[in-house]
Chain A
Amino acid sequence: MNTKLLPASPAASRSGRPELSPTKRQARGWFDRQYRQRMLRTDLLTVIAWASVAASVALWLADGGAAATTTVAEAFTAAGIVTGLIGMDLVLLMLLLAARIPFVDRTIGHDRALEFHGKLGKPSLYLLLAHGVLLIIGYGLAEGLDPVSEAVNLWIQVPDMWLAFVSMALFIAVVVTSLVAVRRRFPYEFWYVVHLLTYAAVATSIPHQFSVGGLFAAGTWQRWYWLAIWTYTGTALVYFRILEPVLATARHQLTVARVEAVAPGVVNIVMRGRKLDELAGTGGRFFIWRFLAPGMWWHPHPFSLSAEPVFNGPAGEGTLRVTVRNLGNGSAQLLKLRKGTKVALEGPYGLLSTAARTKNKVVMIGAGIGITPLRALLETTPFAPGEATVLLRGHTDRELYLSREILDLCQARGVRLFHLTGRRSPTNSRSRSNSRSRTNSTWLPEDAVRNGYSLTSYVPDIADADVYVCGPAAWAENVIADAVQAGVREEQIHHERFDW
């Protein structure tokens, strides 16, 4: 057996964090209320998203669009206008989902926001393509011109239309390059730069929306509505993606204090800064870091804090820590960061935090470098002694990064801890896992599977707990499938992708 079990010991009193007293929160059904509030916010976001789509169609209806549609040409034109309105509304929703608005982040989390963002990519492109094609056909029919001549006419005769054609080409380029297949073939940086073209595509599409269509002509209330949602989206993007990070960087004045080896290819980067008291409770959530050294400053690194911020000075002076594994091109340089290097930060983002809790009990399951955010979460998230379980997975003991610190925390707070080391089970192919047998726990070590262990062997009461999963995507998928089988509901599972 490569597992070990620590008897739960009573929690040592940890001074200095009175607000995290577990009993206070649990006594009042605090987590349940937090969960219900979060679900209410989720529903609110759903309503806002759908209502915005409906509103974009209603703009056209209110202008008398439907009643004025009588001929075939007008029907094409009407369809073209409506697809354009919906397509653009979806683009605005995509931008808002990628704007890192705190309300969205603490409601559905950064991961799911980007997942929805990605899901809207293709529909909005198809709608915008249809918008262009239908309008060219509709206008052409009305004027007795073939679509090609009509397109040329629009390009030459109507101001701002050439920009709209450029915008369409850019949108196509962005979506094509964002498709997963392409993303795999090109390095991340290439994909990132191409993605920035989205802003060019959106910007070039704006003029014709206000100058060409009669719907948003000067003096209409529709124009004000459209201007308002554009202004809100633009402001949110600029504020949360540019201004806030700049302000946070200036506020915290982070510099690299030291880089400590944890294991081969794995280091702790400790940063010194000020006003870190403002970041208390963000352990486990991630920030996007930029190390401001030659050749590195432009490369953003999403890393989670691997420990709660430590601060003791009068102005919140203290240290932050991330634990980093050399995963490729960008992170290799991080292993030899110079002391004193300035650091820019954006965040915190994500829901791998107490804000996602729905139950009093907690289970944390981490693998490899994914262990490190759980280490920070373990430090602060409230629970009573005996109500938490930690499962750490690695090939060898050396891959259980920070395991010494985790052991100490578990002893101090009364947490059951299992080390799951050893080779992967050879029957980990997906062909086996869909046989729905009980032995699809391929995220476990080979010998654990052979002995018939599954998730519930380690955590019998998992169905009544929040389950935090952090590790490589395929592995995490497997853990989640096992948890669902054990009766854990979707809202109890908190998963952070850790393979980007």
Chain B
Amino acid sequence: MKIRGAVAAALASAGILLAGWQAGTQVHGISTVTSSTTATGTKGSTGTGSPGTGSTGTGTTGSVGSSGTGSSGTSNSSASGTYTGTAVQTRFGAVQVQITVSNGKITEVTPLQLTDTDGRSIQISNRAAPLLRTKVLAAQSANVQTVSGATVTSRAYLTSLQAAIDAANL
């Protein structure tokens, strides 16, 4: 009787673990393939960004499209004003940034949304965002190193940022 119970328990446990494992591999298969194209922002010209790249393995799904609202709204080359990047979905929540451009220079990066599904993500976001802002303002581009321990947030941040930069035609 004890053996029957032990065998049944072992089989049930193994089955549950296998099912979990199987479901886990599928979660990642989907997240790397899917890339939704949801453009946020309605005002201004809706530009077309490049499909999200470099998101393999992290579960980040890049979304394309960005919008910007130029203060003058007349010229595309001498960019000034605020430009909003795309909202990039990650498994810890969406990330979206806005840049303020003055005479062709990025003067401010404002996060509109950061990874926030859980307390741990909020902690990571709050730590990573100021560091990324400093780096971006110094480099004047999205080509900066990700913050260690905040890879997912950093990549999403920089993807959204690149979309905003593209919208500003910098």
Residues of A within 8 A of B (CB): 39, 42-43, 46-47, 49-51, 53-55, 57-68, 70, 73, 139, 141-144, 153-154, 157-161, 208, 211-214, 216-218, 491
Nearest-Cβ distance from residue A46 to partner chain B, whole angstroms: 4
* A50-B13 in contact (CB<8A): yes
Nearest-Cβ distance from residue B69 to partner chain A, whole angstroms: 31
* A53-B13 in contact (CB<8A): yes
* A43-B8 in contact (CB<8A): yes
* A160-B5 in contact (CB<8A): no
* A58-B16 in contact (CB<8A): yes
Contacts of A64 in B (CB 8 A): 24-25, 27-28, 31, 59
Chain B window 25-44, contacts with chain A (Cβ cutoff 8 Å), 1 for yes, 0 for no: 10110010000000000000
> Within 8 Å of chain A (Cβ to Cβ): is B103?
no
Contacts of A60 in B (CB 8 A): 20
* A68-B12 in contact (CB<8A): no
* B118-A213 in contact (CB<8A): yes
**Interface size in chain B (residues, C-beta < 8 A):** 38
* A62-B23 in contact (CB<8A): yes
Report if A143-B148 is in contact (Cβ < 8 Å); known contacts: A63-B27, A65-B24, A158-B122. yes
Question: B128's closest neighbor in chain A, by CB?
Answer: A143
Chain B window 56-83, contacts with chain A (Cβ cutoff 8 Å), 1 for yes, 0 for no: 0111000000000000000000000000
Residue B120 contacts which of A68, A73, A214 (CB distance < 8 angstroms)? A214
Nearest-Cβ distance from residue A236 to partner chain B, whole angstroms: 21
* A46-B118 in contact (CB<8A): no
A157 to B1, CA, bound (A): 52
From 126 to 150 in chain B, residues with beta carbon under 8 angstroms from any chain A beta carbon are: 126-127, 148-150
CB contacts between A and B, total, < 8 Å: 121
Nearest-Cβ distance from residue A196 to partner chain B, whole angstroms: 28
* Smallest CB-CB A-B distances: 6 pairs: A58-B20, A142-B149, A54-B13, A61-B20, A43-B5, A62-B23
A47 to B20, CA, bound (A): 17
Nearest-Cβ distance from residue A494 to partner chain B, whole angstroms: 16
A423 to B162, CA, bound (A): 92
* B5-A46 in contact (CB<8A): yes
A60 to B31, CA, bound (A): 16
Contacts of B17 in A (CB 8 A): 54, 57-58, 61
> Within 8 Å of chain A (Cβ to Cβ): is B14?
yes
Residue B121 contacts which of A49, A67, A214 (CB distance < 8 angstroms)? A214
Contacts of B148 in A (CB 8 A): 142-144
* B16-A55 in contact (CB<8A): yes
* B28-A47 in contact (CB<8A): no
A141 to B149, CA, bound (A): 8
Contacts of A53 in B (CB 8 A): 13
* A43-B4 in contact (CB<8A): yes
Report if A214-B91 is in contact (Cβ < 8 Å); known contacts: A68-B59, A139-B149, A158-B122. yes
* A157-B126 in contact (CB<8A): yes
Contacts of B150 in A (CB 8 A): 142-143
Nearest-Cβ distance from residue B37 to partner chain A, whole angstroms: 22
Nearest-Cβ distance from residue A167 to partner chain B, whole angstroms: 15
Contacts of B31 in A (CB 8 A): 64
Nearest-Cβ distance from residue B16 to partner chain A, whole angstroms: 4
Contacts of B27 in A (CB 8 A): 62-64
> Within 8 Å of chain A (Cβ to Cβ): is B9?
yes
Question: A46's closest neighbor in chain B, by CB?
Answer: B5
> Within 8 Å of chain A (Cβ to Cβ): is B50?
no
Q: List 14 A-B contacts (CB under 8 A).
A: A43-B4, A43-B5, A46-B9, A51-B12, A51-B13, A54-B17, A62-B21, A65-B24, A68-B28, A141-B149, A143-B150, A157-B123, A159-B119, A217-B118
Contacts of B13 in A (CB 8 A): 50-51, 53-54
Question: B151's closest neighbor in chain A, by CB?
Answer: A142
Nearest-Cβ distance from residue A368 to partner chain B, whole angstroms: 33
* A61-B24 in contact (CB<8A): yes
Contacts of A51 in B (CB 8 A): 9, 12-13, 16
Contacts of B16 in A (CB 8 A): 51, 54-55, 58
Residue B24 contacts which of A42, A46, A67, A143 (CB distance < 8 angstroms)? A67
From 70 to 113 in chain B, residues with beta carbon under 8 angstroms from any chain A beta carbon are: 91-92
